[in-house]
Amino acid sequence: MQTLERRVRDALMGPCGVSPGETVIVAVSGGADSTALLHALVRIAGDCGLRVEAAHFEHGIRGEESLSDARFVRSLCARLNVPLREGSADVPRLSQSWKTGLEDAARRARFAFLQECARAAGARSVALAHHMQDQAETVLLHAVRGSDGRGLCAMRARNGLFVRPMLETRREEIRDYLRALDEAFCEDSTNASEEPARNRVRLQAMPALRTVNPRADEALCRVARAAQRDEAYFDAALDSLMPPVRQAPYGLCARLAPLRGMHPALRSRALLRMLRQAGIGQTPCERVEAADRVLCAGGACGLWGGWRMEAGWTHLHLLRPDFAPDPAFELPLQAALSGACLPWGGRLVPSPFTGRTGDGLLSQAFAADALAGAVVRYRRPGDVIRPFGSGGTQKLKQTMIDRRLDRPFRALAPLIARGSDVLWAVGVRAAEQSAVRADGADICLTFDGELPWMGETT
């Protein structure tokens, strides 16, 4: 077994987390790196108990050269007796449609294809051929773009479905391995172009750095390993300190006090964890810094893709760009009492009045005739409530503000109302009209569910 094969085996069975008996898909472009990786995996598959398949994606960018690469990969897989899955896309068209750069569109289309290949093959690992120099370039690119410690982690041996077993292997070792096998490979002519940023780093920046430190590639890879260790520690610390992040009709919310009590190093990671949970992808550092200022001082800011972050009195809110409360939402109270699902996933449960009037938050007793014609809905302009003992009506919005209810919660609190008169703002306050008469015609309503602001309002 050659050195490269042994290193690939150790990485697969170690940090890549591949187990005997698995199917591993190798992403093969036809270039030197992926050709070497396929050869190595085929040669160690028997010892490791692995089944190897290959996948090739044609991007529709390089014309005949790209088609020639596809023919080479077919021939290579036939010689090695490796099943091959092929896919293609018109990446320039996708780039225009997705309003993104050509490189990003190619990456997204390619990764979607590889994910589909893994699903079809029942594989939990797709092997990519990134090597030590690729890792060093990634660290440098992230650093000059102002990334923090998370960006300096660069590429991991395993990231979800994708494994990279050659991150400790130098480009020269890969070429030596192919020469020893007398194996050909394809050359991508675009690698000589200095237009892409990564190519400029590889062709200009890295050679300059090697005049300072001949082992600059290894040094930058050590930076990545150190950053990954630090991030593992921060992630573990965050697991014990992070408040629960709740799904909300508008997006996500989490309690502010625990977030504000965190060290800034953890707080920024907590924000990124919320963003990832919301499905927001890569977020520029300056946006994360703006979000942190909002978290600490209050207010709101725009994020990525139209998402917004808002800090209220008690919670931090992530609001989807397409969300607006449905002003037409209205449910007859009788339907709600029959088990219909209400906002926040709760239900109204009726029970006979037993002498307890309820807390006015999650339970409340009513004179039965006070509920005639009542509906369940959201807040609307002109809504008023007559709080107990107030001697008059008050705008519902002002009542909610007085109770320190965050703006997103105010829009979505379940209300029981007749016309513009609110009888009960669930989780906020009940109205004087709900007063029971103890004449046997009274009913108690309980909201069976969780409202995130409960326990946080005053």
| Contact predicate 50/44, CB 8 Å | yes
Residue 105 structure tokens: 């569109």
Map tokens 């780039």 to a residue. 95
Residue 304 structure tokens: 């990525």
29 annotated ligand-binding residue: yes
Helix (H, G, I), strand (E, B) or coil at 137: helix
31 annotated ligand-binding residue: yes
34 annotated ligand-binding residue: yes
Q: Cα-flanking dihedrals φ and ψ of residue 349, to 5°?
A: -115, 120
- Indicate the residue type of 105: A
Q: Cα-flanking dihedrals φ and ψ of residue 93, to 5°?
A: -70, -40
305 annotated ligand-binding residue: no
Helix (H, G, I), strand (E, B) or coil at 127: strand
Cα four-point dihedral sign 86, 91, 93, 95: positive
Of 443, 437, 448, 446, nearest to 371 by C-alpha is: 443
Helix (H) / strand (E) containing 73: helix 64-80
CA 79 to CA 47: how far, in whole Å?
A: 20
Residue 397 structure tokens: 């919005």
Q: Cα-flanking dihedrals φ and ψ of residue 53, to 5°?
A: -125, 165
User: In b/e form, how buried is each residue of 53-64, taking b as 16+ CB within 10 angstroms?
Assistant: bbbbbbbbbeee
235 annotated ligand-binding residue: no
Of 150, 165, 71, 55, nearest to 112 by C-alpha is: 55
The C-alpha torsion from 309 through 314 and 315 to 319, rounded to 10°, is -50
Map tokens 């996500």 to a residue. 252
Residue 138 structure tokens: 């990634």
Helix (H) / strand (E) containing 66: helix 64-80
30 annotated ligand-binding residue: yes
Q: Cα-flanking dihedrals φ and ψ of residue 219, to 5°?
A: -65, -45
CA 63 to CA 43: how far, in whole Å?
A: 33
Helix (H, G, I), strand (E, B) or coil at 253: strand
CA 5 to CA 26: how far, in whole Å?
A: 15
- Residue 274 neighbours by CB under 8 Å, 6+ apart: 245, 252, 254, 316, 318
Helix (H, G, I), strand (E, B) or coil at 425: strand
Residue 403 structure tokens: 């109770």
| Contact predicate 416/343, CB 8 Å | no
Report the binding-site residues: 29-34
Report the binding-site residues for ATP: 29-34
